[in-house]
């Protein structure tokens, strides 16, 4: 496992080790002892999965308390992580990552950061571990195309939920 810093403070990428042979592939996606040894001490208490089809864009969502460990179980998506801490000098800064079942990369997203993802393959399975239980009332939402963020998405007309079109639930 290789852990690397990104240009966003507190956001890390994790490259997982895998074992491949004639039968297929084996990947350990989380081992608390190994993550702690690598300096990641976040305690995760909930796992979530979403399945989406090509051109679906979900997000930008987050909250002030939750850390997330994001990975792609199947397919490929473009993940965007945004600093949404209005007290931070880096508020509004973002970075994009390609996650897939081929590269097996994970992204650790701190609290006060939002994340969004766009499905690039025919279908994809988005997986994340959370450090808190889901609380919809505590979440923030930014529009995927908020002009102040200047995010460069590889799509002009994604498939969006009502929340992601309007910023409201």
Question: 160, exposed or middle or buried, with CB in 10 Å at 0-12, 13-18, 19+?
Answer: middle
- Cα gap 95→8, rounded to integer Å: 7
Closest CA to 102 of 6, 18, 2, 13: 18
State yes or no: is 35 an active-site residue. Answer: no
Residues 6+ apart with CB under 8 A from 156: none
Which residue in the list 35, 78, 128, 142 is annotated as catalytic?
128
State yes or no: is 117 an active-site residue. Answer: no
Radius of gyration of the chain (CA): 16
Q: Which two tokens stand for residue 48?
A: 């979530």
Which residue in the list 61, 78, 113, 117 is annotated as catalytic?
61
For 164, the enclosing helix (H) or strand (E) is helix 162-166
| Residues recognised as catalytic | 61, 128
């Amino acid at each position: 496992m290789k852990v690397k810093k990104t240009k966003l403070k507190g956001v890390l990428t994790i490259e997982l080790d895998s074992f491949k042979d004639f039968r297929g592939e084996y990947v350990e996606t989380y081992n608390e002892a190994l993550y702690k040894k690598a300096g990641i001490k976040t305690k995760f208490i909930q796992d979530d999965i979403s399945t989406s089809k090509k051109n679906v864009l979900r997000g930008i969502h987050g909250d002030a308390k939750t850390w997330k460990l994001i990975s792609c179980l199947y397919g490929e998506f473009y993940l965007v992580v945004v600093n949404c801490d209005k007290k931070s000098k880096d508020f509004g800064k973002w970075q994009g990552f390609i996650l897939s079942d081929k590269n097996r990369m994970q992204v650790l997203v701190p609290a006060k950061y939002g994340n969004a993802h766009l499905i690039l393959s025919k279908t994809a399975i988005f997986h994340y571990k959370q450090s808190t239980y889901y609380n919809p009332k505590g979440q923030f939402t930014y529009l995927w195309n908020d002009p102040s963020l200047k995010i460069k998405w590889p799509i002009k007309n994604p498939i969006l939920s009502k929340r992601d079109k309007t910023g409201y639930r």
